[in-house]
Structure 1
């Protein structure tokens, strides 16, 4: 395959954050200047594992499909792309925690996607060109354009089932806020939060974004005094099943575009724990103060 700038590239690699930062000029982030592909490739380290899971072509194909499908509805691409990116880039959490992978994906494989998805189309008042935030190219896992989607799919999936991840990524407030919470690492917590989000959405709740932020804040605050894994215990994910799913990348077909793929069969969250936390978080949502983002004041949610 060829990257967005035309250079031949078939494999993912590791690009140091310091190198990425050096090349992310204002002109690059405004889409006015191309990245120096040769310099980026030379500064990158090949991944020693020769598995097909590090092939760049399948990743590039789903990114191109996301652009084709969602056109001007760019935020809608997140819910579609997250589970398919996760099921294409089959990794352990340790591997996914390496920012060098995401740096290379954003700067070498698909800088055009980062610009398409995150460059604001709003008219500025000062005449200065709009720029993508540096963190969308190279930043923490909850901000980087591709890492945030992979991690959202990982944290919100329920075993093989990506439906909760799809719902979570369909709400920008949930996607942008929940990944910052330590509590989201607890599977019943993640699934229960999505259940409450779905209930709010289906009920036609007003100011949904404010309510989701209020829920995330309440879950986070309560988590400082309540041990969710004590009141809602869960089983550890099956590591053997995860590694089997990763190994199956060698023979797995490309991810489907019109139905959700299957994640690793490493266990689901305990139903009793999910039910208990759903009831608790539903109360949080009903009682939490709702921030008026326009005026910066707190209003009490109507029950």
Structure 2
């Protein structure tokens, strides 16, 4: 397994896909040898130095704690890390949509975590274990850290991250949901979590069948009408970002708090949960 970079940057920065490409070596993707970090530091674009959110140390400590805590079951690290990564970085959606920040986090700050979490198991056909390039520099639903941040953003209920933990415990839900625009409707996201908690859909095939049915129904049924949401106050998020300067480290044994936005109306979540559960009964699930 590769080691922590010898040269860690003090702050996060922007690393373009083109600049990242030479560092995605065969040895790195095989998980056998990382890089020192010095050469990579020469090709990044700096972020504003006066913003506490860009400090690397809090994120670095998080991933090291995750590797220690979940060394016996690495997939469980997602549900633990997602809300804490979100609450530590305190990004706006515009900032989080810039893939360059995630490229830098994965390659310059925590390539050892990416390898630890996503190195494939040895295959029966004797292919060598390998890490997908997309885990370092890829689409938001595949990149190691962006997928966790966006899952936390989409599945949190105001400041409550507990639905994120449930969502991130199911790899199929994260991967399928983050590819679909419907998940940006908060009652839809929380209703999907409730369906999981009910045990209505559990396997990968179940999730994909449910998501396909939900997506298709959404083309003819406006979920905003069936399950209205509270309007978001942008000032709440702005204040949360500003408070990053004085925020303590996120707790390890309890969930942090997110932006103090209005929670989703319970009646909206309940209505959609029942609707999705009924929808699943007729959803096309392979093998059922």
Whether these two folds match at TM > 0.5 is: yes
Return the alpha-carbon distance in structure 1 between the equivalents of residues 253 and 136 of structure 2: 28
Does the aligned pair in 2 maintain the 1:106–1:137 contact within 8 Å?
A: yes
User: What's the CA shift for 1:240?
Assistant: 0.6
Specify every segment of 5 or more residues in structure 2 that has no aligned partner in the other structure, as ranges. none
Q: For residues 144-164 of structure 1, give each alpha carbon's deviation from its aligned partner in whole angstroms, at most 9, with x where no partner exists.
A: 000000000000000010011
Return the alpha-carbon distance in structure 1 between the equivalents of residues 73 and 153 of structure 2: 24
User: What's the CA shift for 1:36?
Assistant: 5.4
Does the aligned pair in 2 maintain the 1:160–1:264 contact within 8 Å?
A: yes
Tell me the residue number matched to 1:258. 253
Tell me the residue number matched to 1:220. 215
User: What's the CA shift for 1:52?
Assistant: 1.1
Q: For residues 139-190 of structure 1, give each alpha carbon's deviation from its aligned partner in whole angstroms, at most 9, with x where no partner exists.
A: 1111100000000000000001001111000111111111111100000100
Does the aligned pair in 2 maintain the 1:239–1:266 contact within 8 Å?
A: no
So what's the TM-score if we normalise by structure 2? 0.95
So what's the TM-score if we normalise by structure 1? 0.90
User: What's the CA shift for 1:224?
Assistant: 1.8
Q: Where does structure 1 differ by over 6 angstroms across 4 or more consecutive aligned residues?
A: none
Tell me the residue number matched to 1:296. none
Return the alpha-carbon distance in structure 2 between the equivalents of residues 107 and 226 of structure 1: 42
Q: For residues 178-206 of structure 1, give each alpha carbon's deviation from its aligned partner in whole angstroms, at most 9, with x where no partner exists.
A: 111110000010011101111117xxx7x
2:18 paired with 1:23:
no
Q: For residues 88-136 of structure 1, give each alpha carbon's deviation from its aligned partner in whole angstroms, at most 9, with x where no partner exists.
A: 01010000000010000000000000000000123341x4422111111
Tell me the residue number matched to 2:185. 186
Tell me the residue number matched to 2:81. 81
- Change in Cα spacing, 1:272 to 1:87, as seen in structure 2 (3 Å) is same
Return the alpha-carbon distance in structure 2 between the equivalents of residues 134 and 184 of structure 1: 26
RMSD after superposition: 1.6
User: What's the CA shift for 1:10?
Assistant: 1.3
Specify every segment of 5 or more residues in structure 1 that has no aligned partner in the other structure, as ranges. 293-298
